[in-house]
Amino acid sequence: MYTPPPMPRRTLLRGALGLGTAAALAACGRDSTTARTSGDVDLALWTHDPGYEAFFRKGIPEADRLADFRYHLTVTRAGPADIVTKLLAQAVAGRGTPDMAGFEIGSFPRMLRGDISERLLHDFTPDIAAVPGLKDDLLPARTAPYRKDGRVYALDSDTPMVVYYYRDDLFTKYGLAKDTPTWEEFAELGARVNKDHNASLCVVSTNGSDTAQIVQSFQMLLYQRGGAFFDADQQLVLDSAEAEEVLGFLCEGLRSGFVIDISDYYGAAMQTALKQGRVIGLPMAIWYKSYGLVPNVPEQKGKWRVRAMPRFAEGGGTTAALGGTGFGVIKDKANTRAATDFLLNTWLTHEGQVRRFIETGYLPTRRSVFEDPQLRGLKDDFCGGQRLFGLYRDLLPDVPPQHTSPDQSILFDVLAGNLLRAYRGDVSPRQALRRTAEEFRDQAGR
Amino acid sequence: MTTAIADPASSARKRTGARRTAPRLKQSRAPYLFIAPFYVLYVLFMLVPVLVSLWLSLTEWVGLGTPRWVGLRNYRLLATDVSFHRALGNTGVFVMIAVFVVVPLALLIAQALNTRGLRVRDLWRTAYFVPIVVSPIIVALIFGLIFDRQFGLLNSVLRALFGTGGVDWLGDPDLAKVSIGLVMLWRWTGYLTVFFLAGLQAVPKELYEAAALDGAGRVRTFTTVTLPALKPVTAFVVVTSFIGAAQIFEEPYLLTGGGPAESTLSVTMFIYRAAFQRQQFGYAAAAAVVLFVLVFGLSQLFNRLLGIGRATS
């Protein structure tokens, strides 16, 4: 019998090194894509908001009950823009992507560029169709921002309608009517208040380092007036009569003092303005109470109230929409099915949406949940015990869709600069919008 | 069948030869093996990225999937892109501030700190050096509060002293550049001062004694002794300041975001914006290549003009 000669030590070492390298390379390879259909699942979630983390963790028992999985959650927190950047980097690397990710609405348009969303994100359209009545119950206004070519790539966390916040005590003290029906009448009141009390009833942001903030001030009133940035086909529709009217209204408000320019909605400048009583009212999204007012002026608890925005005399609705976060699932992964089930069984159930509002303050994205008696009975301590949900339900039909475009960041960059020029009086509203449209078309073509 | 008979002498020669060659080879390989890690890392982390960037600049890529070859299209678009031209102009202004304001000021401060008899000298040196240690995010936050138009510290001081305030430091396109320049001044002057201080302490005292004997005053001593002696340090500081300012990112990104109306947009911010906000990686790579060529070319020019690396007589 032939007996092979003993292997030299060097050959053995070489072999071991080769095997080790192969094993290491294999470990660096793509994630396993064999789909899990039941059992223990460790879901990786990326989000920018600790509120969402708490919500999903609390939702695990319910998700376990409704699906064939036993969920464990590993959460990574990062800035909204970083989530998209890191997700794309991990996708290029072929590993390390999360199972679920929360896309802040301002960052999501990056996912719409080229075929990124098709390649990376699970399409929820068949899942929504599979649940009886869900498609009609989901608010189209809140699926629009995450929709491309008829497919829904994320499910929104909120119906972030815009309302008017005001200091009830100071409105009473200054003798201001709390139910002024139109913006035009309200602006006259505002000019008088500014002259008599050095206070303003509306705010625009001039935060140079945050173009989205500058745009937001204009966006809220533009959408309320019936204008928009993009249509459903992702075409720019900014250069409109409505946009000119709204921008002219804000510019005139700045001259009269009805509007004040603040460098940061959320930071020290706004805090000072609120504490000094320079800002006694402003239109903002419903989440601003939790992220702007409560942290900046907790001592003013009970003094604030919420009402519907005044209407524009020339037309438009009673509210707009601002912000939101869409939760998406990464496709073609072992946990894709499990993550989709988890999202549907926590985020989209009636109970889940009720719990979401109670725990995080984010409004339901299902029409039927707005009829829930539990929500309608809730009182808001910061707003002097107001029952706000009834107001939100009344505003719901007026919430406009927010269509986005992969070129949205280009628009925000050029629009922010031109808005500031118009606010300063360097250009007219008409010129500012024309320039924006021209610069956008020039840059978006690259 | 033939049997080859080995020549024992020849085999012995071969063995001896082998024994002689092997150590020599090993010896000659050794230095290369020692310096190899540097070259491997250099190739991996310098050459490969540079070459990939060059290739990427000739493609259109959204960050995922396969890049599409577009040839020189990105460069053609850059040539007509108003934003890119603005970014180049703004960066030029920041470079001017760095080279013609920050560097001379650092030299003057170093000279002052080097003066004999200066009390609490170490405290001054530390005070000037501290800004470079502070995180840029903290710097931006604090300067944001200082420069705020409505409620900023600077305007409050102006109002208190001169009865006038409300200067839009970050909102006015021209003043925003000045504000960024002020932050650059605050942040980098102390750091550069350290280099000049080291240079000043190396100037032979005999030169000053000779100048004093010749009856030279302070200004004359400074121009005829200090400045020539500091030439190598100055050249180094100027070139590094130029390269640093040409790649400025943190100050405008955190303080003004490139605004208002792109008035503080730097080339590196333009690159970042194209890549990570607009998913135009090919376009960003082309801008990066242009920046690289400009910085490399001008650095070489400075090197030649200032005589860096040349032996001094």
DSSP string spanning A318-345?
S--B---EEEEEBSSSTTHHHHHHHHHH
Determine whether the interchain pair A209/B145 forms a contact, defined as Cβ–Cβ distance below 8 Å: no
Residue of B nearest to A278 (CA): B150
Residue of B nearest to A445 (CA): B77
Residue A210 contacts B where some CB pair is shorter than 8 Å = yes
* Per-residue pLDDT at A29: 47
* Tally of CB atoms within 10 A around A9: 8
Distances (CA, A) of A55 to A156, A356, A381, B105: 14, 7, 22, 55
* Per-residue pLDDT at A380: 94
Per-residue b/e over A283-292, b at no fewer than 16 CB within 10 Å?
A: bbbbbbbebb
Strands lying side by side in the sheet with A162-167: A281-285, A162-167, A304-307
Contacts across the A-B interface (CB distance below 8 Å): 115
Determine whether the interchain pair B260/A416 forms a contact, defined as Cβ–Cβ distance below 8 Å: yes
Instruction: Walk along chain A (446 residues) in steps of 10 and give the mean pLDDT of each run.
Output: 52 54 49 78 95 94 92 95 93 93 94 93 96 93 93 95 97 94 96 96 88 94 96 93 97 97 89 95 95 94 97 95 95 95 94 92 94 92 94 95 92 93 94 95 83
State how far residue A70 is from chain B, nearest Cα, in angstroms: 33
Nearest to B278 among A115, A263, A410 (CB): A410
Write the single-letter amino acid at A174: Y
* Per-residue pLDDT at B64: 87
Chain B environment of A210 (Cβ under 8 Å):
257
Determine whether the interchain pair A261/B150 forms a contact, defined as Cβ–Cβ distance below 8 Å: yes
Nearest to A421 among B77, B149, B261 (CB): B261
Residues 269-288, chain A, touching B (beta carbon < 8 A):
269, 272-273, 278
Mutation target vs A (from B70, B265, B277; most A CBs, 10 A cutoff): B277
Residue of B nearest to A214 (CA): B260
- Helix, strand or coil, per DSSP, at residue A67: coil
B interface with A, Cβ–Cβ below 8 Å: 62-65, 77, 81-83, 140, 144-145, 148-151, 168, 170-172, 176, 253-262, 264, 273, 276-280, 283
Mutation target vs A (from B64, B138, B174, B265; most A CBs, 10 A cutoff): B64
Chain A environment of B261 (Cβ under 8 Å):
416-418, 420-421
Residue of B nearest to A410 (CA): B278
- Helix, strand or coil, per DSSP, at residue A148: strand
- Cβ pair A163, A292 in contact under 8 A: no
* Per-residue pLDDT at A26: 47
Region of B136 please: left (phi>0), alpha (psi -120 to 50) or beta.
alpha
Q: Are strands A325-329 and A155-156 parallel, antiparallel or unpaired?
A: antiparallel
Determine whether the interchain pair B257/A208 forms a contact, defined as Cβ–Cβ distance below 8 Å: yes
Chain B environment of A88 (Cβ under 8 Å):
63-64
* Per-residue pLDDT at A6: 54
Determine whether the interchain pair B65/A115 forms a contact, defined as Cβ–Cβ distance below 8 Å: yes
Residue of A nearest to B76 (CA): A446
- Cβ pair A41, A70 in contact under 8 A: yes
| Below-50 pLDDT ranges, chain B | 1-6, 313
* Tally of CB atoms within 10 A around A432: 25
Residues 81-110, chain A, touching B (beta carbon < 8 A):
81, 85, 88, 91-92, 110
* Tally of CB atoms within 10 A around B62: 22
Determine whether the interchain pair B151/A272 forms a contact, defined as Cβ–Cβ distance below 8 Å: yes
* Per-residue pLDDT at B294: 95
State how far residue A114 is from chain B, nearest Cα, in angstroms: 6
Determine whether the interchain pair B150/A260 forms a contact, defined as Cβ–Cβ distance below 8 Å: yes
Element (H, E) at A73: strand A69-77
* Per-residue pLDDT at A35: 83
- Cβ pair B274, B280 in contact under 8 A: yes
- Cβ pair A206, B171 in contact under 8 A: yes
Residue A262 contacts B where some CB pair is shorter than 8 Å = yes
Nearest to A417 among B64, B145, B260 (CB): B260
Token pair of B102, please? 């920050």
Nearest to B170 among A85, A114, A208 (CB): A208
* Tally of CB atoms within 10 A around B72: 12
What distance, in Å, lies between the first and last C-alpha atoms of chain B?
Answer: 80
* Per-residue pLDDT at B116: 76
Token pair of A112, please? 């719409």
Residue entry with tokens 């020039």: A442
Distances (CA, A) of B32 to A366, B19, B23, B25, B52: 69, 21, 15, 11, 27
